[in-house]
Amino acid sequence: MFLFGIYATGTGAAPIVRDNIVSGLVNSSTPNATRNAQTVGIFTAATGLVTVTGNQLSNIGNSSTTAPTSTFYHYVSGIYVTGAATGSLVARNRVAGLFSSSTGTGSLADRILLLYNDGTGVTVANNQLSSTGATAAAPNLYGLYENGTGNTYAYNAVYLAGTGSSSTYALYRNSTTAGLVLRNNILYNERSGSGLNLALTTPSTTNFVGSPANPGTNTADYNLYINANSSSYVNQYGGSVYTFAAYKAATGGDGSSLSEQASVLPSASLFTNTSTGDLSVNPASPAAWYANGTGTQVASVGTDYAGTTRSTTVAAGAPTSARWK
């Protein structure tokens, strides 16, 4: 069964999904031989100018403990944007408390995507996305899932925690097309377990470019990457996982980005309240140094999570301006 909190579709349609609260959306169905069991807070399949802003999503998931028996699986997403046109905006949303309960593993493990986008020329900015562990034993967990063309991800804060055997990713780039821009994001993955738990992953190296001599051409830069892998692996590029220094050398990008281990930069010190999904940077903590002034201006995104004009001294992440300038 498909269960959606808000559903907007239509060829050429230009829906505005703004300032909604979607909470307590629980699907108890199981996959069958022809389709997944889908639970989505906000789903848009409109092909026009899509606007998804200022929404609060929490306690969304699937309560069925039945393991799938076919090639289909339990699928949970906070915000799912497909087919959106150039100029679309997904901004200032908060997603927290997504969960799944299935005992499926491997290819039948649950999929949890906090925010999915496969549009063209979409700006995804100032979103706060968190998962603190209320999930099945082995879900495939994704914070930001990029599967489109020419999209911009800026000032987002993603936090993943808990434990499990499947790999997890604060940002996962599944596309291979040109024009992706990643700027001023905090990608924090302190999830533990036998899988790889990474800040950023791009399985394909195609069109993921960097140039230390010309930072403006970089796909990714001015981001903050944190993870808890004891191996110190932070990001995946192509088929290999890298330490931060090796990743920068391999990609030629992220020259102005920062990386740290969760043991050195605890989430409780960096963020205001991870249990409620408030990923505003805590201004009272010395850890705020990691975000304060470490970003770069993005012309298309001039405001913060609260909708207030950002300072010219740019902070990474999606802080609330009342707490952080």
pLDDT at site 324? 34
pLDDT at site 254? 94
pLDDT at site 259? 94
pLDDT at site 322? 36
> What residues of the chain score a pLDDT lower than 70?
134-137, 229-231, 293-294, 299, 312-325
pLDDT at site 321? 39
Taking only Cα atoms into account, the Rg of the chain, rounded to an integer number of angstroms, comes to 18
pLDDT (tens digit per residue) in 195-227: 889 999 999 999 999 987 888 889 999 999 999
Domain ranges, ordered by start, for the chain: 2-290
